[in-house]
Amino acid sequence: MSTSVSSPSASAALQGKDDRVKTRSVTSRLLSRPEIGSLIGAVAVFVLFCVVAPTFRTAPSLATVAYSASTIGIMAVAVALLMIGGEFDLSAGVVVTTSALAASTFAFQLRLNLWVGIVVALLLALAVGAFNGWLLMRTGLPSFLITLGTFFMLQGLNLGVTKLLTGGVSSDSVADMDGFSAAQAVFASTVQVGGVGVKITVFWWILFVAIATWTLLRTRVGNWIFAAGGDAAAARAVGVPVRRTKIGLFMAVGFCGWFVGMHQLFSFDSIQSGGGVGQEFIYIIAAVVGGCLLTGGYGSAIGSAIGALIFGMTSLGIVYAGWDANWFKLFLGVMLLLATIVNLVVKNQASKR
């Protein structure tokens, strides 16, 4: 990262440098980056499918892979930040559905412009995140339990409220309402890049990952996120606002959930109220494969993007290769185990000299 670090060698020589400590080489520093394991994995998966599935190599398929990765990745980047901050959010999957339902139902029932619904959904998603974070900091219970609670609450609300208002399991179509085309352009349009249609979520994803990486590595808030996850008590003792940081992270998950929810709503025009269940684990897997430690304090936003990319490549690559899609789950499990073991080794290395 910074090259100015070489300066202490001169002063250290004066002090009588500890000759048992070797200066780390560039390779070993590179290998200690959180995302390096997943990058190697991603290259391996890419090469594999390029070899076994000829259609995988074409530009349109790669655009589809990127799209598939982006819908996972937008959530995974927020989930990764939260995990670096030391917490989980099991409600991350259903909050997507909740915000999509809220936007469409609110605007539909009150006959308002869809953008009003979109703003209401955003406030709701942020409120869910704030509630998770506030309750966590208030009670000190594990975030696993608290968000498991919100997970079921939201799932029940999604189904119950939709049934109550529409009598069915999916929301009413919003395709002919005011603001639909504008919202579709923002959340679910296709951009032509060199003759290949690329979904706009891919660009949003890249933007979000860039913002998250910048925040993590180059802002005070980023430092606080690492500290809150690495050792909350130590962070609090030196004056880091741990409570605000963690609540903010939960709200970031809410924001990304809202974004993906809007994408889903405007890709089609209605939403299945039972959707999103199980997705939270996919996001967590993407973050963990990307180098986040389950215990917090370590990981990267780019890693989560690579994790999502591995996910996208595999889920579609298996189809392009003509294999039985059921193998995908097995692959997912293997990937997760491998990533966790790599993380364990990394953490042990980090705590050693």
Partner 1 sequence: MSAATAGAAPTSEILRLTDVGKSYGNVHALRGVSLSVRQGEITCVLGDNGAGKSTLIKVIAGLHQHTEGQLVVNGEEVRFTSPRDSLERGIATVYQDLALVPLMSIWRNFFLGAELSTGWGPFKRLDVRTMVRTTDEELTKMGISVPDLERPVGALSGGQRQCIAIARAIHFGAKVLILDEPTAALGVKQSGVVLKYVAKARDAGLGVIFITHNPHHAYLVGNHFVILNRGNVSLDRSRQEITLEELTNEMAGGAELAALSHELSTAVPAPDTTGR
User: 109: Cβ–Cβ under 8 A, 6 or more apart, which residues?
Assistant: 165
- Taking contact as CB under 8 A, which single stretch among the options 6-14, 129-137, 177-185, 309-317 is the one that binds partner 1? 6-14
Q: Which of 11, 27, 192, 326 forms a contact with partner 1 (CB under 8 A)?
A: 11
Assess contact for 245 and 228: CB atoms under 8 A.
yes
Query: Min. distance of Cβ 15 from partner 1 in angstroms?
Result: 4
Beta bridge partners of 191: 198
3-state secondary structure of 198: strand
Instruction: Kindly tell me which of 123 and 237 has the beta carbon lying closer to partner 1.
Output: 237
Assess contact for 121 and 106: CB atoms under 8 A.
yes
Instruction: Kindly tell me which of 84 and 101 has the beta carbon lying closer to partner 1.
Output: 84
Number of residues that bind partner 1 (CB under 8 A): 46
User: Which structure tokens are listed for 87?
Assistant: 């917490």
Instruction: Kindly tell me which of 117 and 229 has the beta carbon lying closer to partner 1.
Output: 229
Query: Min. distance of Cβ 227 from partner 1 in angstroms?
Result: 5
Query: Min. distance of Cβ 165 from partner 1 in angstroms?
Result: 40
- Taking contact as CB under 8 A, which single stretch among the options 21-29, 110-118, 140-148, 179-187 is the one that binds partner 1? 21-29
- Rounded Cα distance between 214 and 118, Å, is 27
Neighbours of 243 (CB within 10 A): 16
Question: Does residue 218 interact with partner 1 by CB under 8 A?
Answer: yes
Question: Does residue 340 interact with partner 1 by CB under 8 A?
Answer: no
Instruction: Kindly tell me which of 3 and 192 has the beta carbon lying closer to partner 1.
Output: 3
- Rounded Cα distance between 2 and 23, Å, is 15
User: Which structure tokens are listed for 340?
Assistant: 């966790």
Instruction: Kindly tell me which of 37 and 93 has the beta carbon lying closer to partner 1.
Output: 37
Subset of 81-110 contacting partner 1 (CB under 8 A): none
Q: Which of 95, 120, 177, 227 forms a contact with partner 1 (CB under 8 A)?
A: 227
Instruction: Kindly tell me which of 214 and 327 has the beta carbon lying closer to partner 1.
Output: 214
Count of CA atoms in the C-beta half-sphere (13 A) of 40: 11
β-bridge pairing 190-193 and 196-199: antiparallel
Computed on alpha carbons and rounded to an integer, the radius of gyration of the chain in Å comes to 22
Question: Does residue 255 interact with partner 1 by CB under 8 A?
Answer: no
> Closest Cα partner for 253 from 338, 154, 327?
154
> Closest Cα partner for 72 from 249, 312, 337, 318?
312
Subset of 282-301 contacting partner 1 (CB under 8 A): 293, 297-298
3-state secondary structure of 71: helix
Subset of 229-248 contacting partner 1 (CB under 8 A): 230-231, 233-241
Query: Min. distance of Cβ 29 from partner 1 in angstroms?
Result: 7
> Closest Cα partner for 259 from 81, 100, 83, 77?
100
Subset of 175-214 contacting partner 1 (CB under 8 A): 214
Question: Does residue 310 interact with partner 1 by CB under 8 A?
Answer: no
Question: Does residue 33 interact with partner 1 by CB under 8 A?
Answer: no
> Closest Cα partner for 307 from 40, 31, 17, 57?
40
Q: List residues binding partner 1 (CB under 8 A).
A: 1-2, 4-5, 7-9, 11-12, 15-18, 21-24, 29, 214, 218-220, 222-224, 226-227, 230-231, 233-241, 293, 297-298, 347, 350-353
